[in-house]
Amino acid sequence: MTIKGELMSKKDKTLKGIKTPSRRKFFKAAAATGAVAAATLAMPSIAKAATTLKVQAAWGGGIFLENAQAYVKRVNEMSGGSLKIDLLPVNSVVKTSQMQDAVHRGVLDGAHYVPAYWYSKSPAASLFGTGPCWGWSAQELLGWIQYGGGMQLFNELMGSLGLNLVSFFNSPMPAQPLGWFKEQIKKSSQMKGLKYRTVGLAADVLGEMGMSVVQLPGGEIQPAMKSGLIDAAEFNNPTSDSDFGMQDVSKHYHLASFHQSQEAFEVTFNKKKFSGLAPELQKILEYASEAENSNFFWHNTLRYADDLVKLKNKLGVNIYRTPDGVMADQLKAWDVITDKFSKKDAFFKKVVKSQKVYAKKVMAYLLLNQPDYGLAYKHHFGEPTKAI
């Protein structure tokens, strides 16, 4: 047998072991496959329903509501429709003072506010926004929360209070002004006996300085000052203050203060609801919060600057920088209050110690490294109060 014949023989033997389908069976199978494909193409795709979170803000309007809306917009866009936050304005479901409990109980899925609004549950809450200044700003406060052990301490606090919450912090606020007075404040003695509005531990600090402190929601500040219920007040920034109409009850506005020199927003969610979300959706809620740090600072500082100019040049407000002597007295008052709470609250003391360790190290670098920006500003534009 030739080689060609041997190969043909082997091929014949191989083919004998293979069953060849009939033409009828082949076309029947092909028709069935085509029918399945056609049915698949004809069937409409069913989109998965989006998870909706009901989140109430502590703001009824103004720039802080815009900030809350910016966070919500990021979350909604990043999720591609699989997660949606329905943002509710202030008091739409519960009062601001009840928001944390409402989220804990699941009446609300989340809230957008500041820790000072639930300061009554624990003085340590104020350390995460309206605490003493260790030479740092809100930028470094957020750095401590994210990388210096602050988040672990916050979660420990949530556990000790039995709160079913998961929180994220964002939006480093510039130091809050000392606020609005009936006359220019040149020394601390002028402040003694005045009825003054603030929140959180700042109330204890200014009380230590001899003021009579009232804690009021933002919308009640201007009417209270107009009626004489309070003599002086602060809220947060030139934009919000002018929206409240503070320029109509006072023409003396003092910028710079240590009573609330570092604060940020807290976005809190019901822990059970949060844990039930897909991991990628949990991360969207977290990373959208981080992204708001930059967006808030860039967006708000320009608005604050524009509105400060408007307050002075169009609305006749006198703009002052709070004297260093007053701010030095604030630091002394902070020492008294910090020592007082640390002695009776071990956790408070623990948080203070952690903050000091972080601030001492980080601020040593920053203060040594950064040039005096005020020197450069004055070189080009002169004194800030005259350059507005």
Q: Taking 50 as the threshold, does the pLDDT of residue 13 lie above it?
A: no
Would you state the pLDDT for residue 216? 86
231 secondary structure, DSSP code: S
pLDDT band at 217 (very low <50, low <70, confident <90, very high): confident
Would you state the pLDDT for residue 46? 42
pLDDT band at 125 (very low <50, low <70, confident <90, very high): very high
Q: What is the pLDDT of residues 17-49, one digit of tens each?
A: 434 444 444 334 444 444 444 444 444 444 456
Q: What kind of architecture, by CATH, is found in domain 51-173+262-301?
A: 3-Layer(aba) Sandwich (3.40)
CA separation for the pair 327, 173 (Å, rounded): 18
CA separation for the pair 226, 138 (Å, rounded): 31
pLDDT band at 219 (very low <50, low <70, confident <90, very high): confident
Instruction: Report the pLDDT averaged over residues 93-122.
Output: 95
Would you state the pLDDT for residue 39? 42
Segments making up each domain of the chain, as ranges: 51-173+262-301
Would you state the pLDDT for residue 34? 46
CA separation for the pair 36, 16 (Å, rounded): 33
Q: What is the pLDDT of residues 302-312, one digit of tens each?
A: 999 999 999 99
Would you state the pLDDT for residue 45? 41
**Phi, psi angle pair for 213, to nearest 5°:** -100, 135
Would you state the pLDDT for residue 20? 44
Q: What is the pLDDT of residues 258-301, one digit of tens each?
A: 999 999 999 999 999 999 999 999 999 999 999 999 999 999 99
Threshold 0.75, pTM exceeds: yes
Instruction: Report the pLDDT averaged over residues 150-167.
Output: 97
CA distance from start to end of the chain: 108
Would you state the pLDDT for residue 166? 98
Degrees (nearest 5) of the Cα angle 81, 110, 88? 75
Cβ-contact 118, 127 below 8 angstroms:
no
Three-state SS across 81-131? CCEEEEEECCCCCCCHHHHHHHHHHCCCCEEEECHHHHHHHCHHHHHHCCC
Q: Taking 90 as the threshold, does the pLDDT of residue 110 lie above it?
A: yes
Q: What is the pLDDT of residues 310-324, one digit of tens each?
A: 999 999 999 999 999
Cβ-contact 52, 84 below 8 angstroms:
yes
Cβ-contact 293, 172 below 8 angstroms:
yes
Would you state the pLDDT for residue 309? 97
- The SS3 call for residue 152 is helix
